[in-house]
């Protein structure tokens, strides 16, 4: 299996319709606020909602408290679950029943 830019783009495109479900699975304490999903960052001692946000329209995400960010679903899952990009892409596909 070849993991290149096009592969990750295809995974992102397949995952976007399922983004709310993916977020509920990997960030179950979060909530929808307009076109964003706001959650506690499980990678740090986060005690209040507000700085860790995922755009539900684009999949871009950022934690403004620690200057961490990414542009797609795979990078978010990699960050949250401490996975490589390749392993995160496979995890995303597994969550959505997608094809590589």
| Separation of alpha carbons 29 and 21, rounded Å | 13
CB 15 within 8 A of CB 22: yes
CATH of residue 21 = 3.90.580.10
pLDDT in tens, the chain (100 residues): 667 889 999 999 999 999 999 999 999 999 999 999 999 999 998 888 999 999 999 999 999 999 999 999 999 999 999 999 999 999 999 999 977 6
- Cβ–Cβ < 8 Å for 89, 74: yes
What whole-number distance in Å separates Cα of residue 6 and Cα of residue 37? 26
Query: Which stretches within 27-84 are classed as H helix?
Result: 73-81
Per-residue pLDDT at 4: 84
How many domains is the chain built from? 1
Which ranges in 1-100 belong to alpha helices (H)?
A: 5-15, 19-26, 73-81, 85-96
Asked if 69 contacts 63 with a C-beta cutoff of 8 angstroms, the reply is yes
Contact 44, 68 (CB under 8 A): no
Q: Which domain holds residue 25?
A: 5-96
């Amino acid at each position: 299996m070849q993991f290149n830019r096009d592969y990750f783009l295809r995974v992102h495109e397949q995952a976007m319709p399922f983004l709310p479900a993916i977020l509920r699975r990997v960030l179950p304490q979060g909530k929808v606020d307009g076109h964003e999903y706001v959650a506690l960052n499980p990678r740090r001692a986060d005690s209040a909602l507000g700085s860790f946000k995922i755009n539900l329209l684009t999949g871009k995400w950022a934690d403004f408290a620690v200057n961490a960010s990414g542009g797609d679903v795979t990078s978010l899952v990699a960050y949250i679950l401490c996975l490589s990009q390749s392993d995160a892409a496979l995890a995303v596909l597994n969550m959505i029943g997608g094809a590589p």
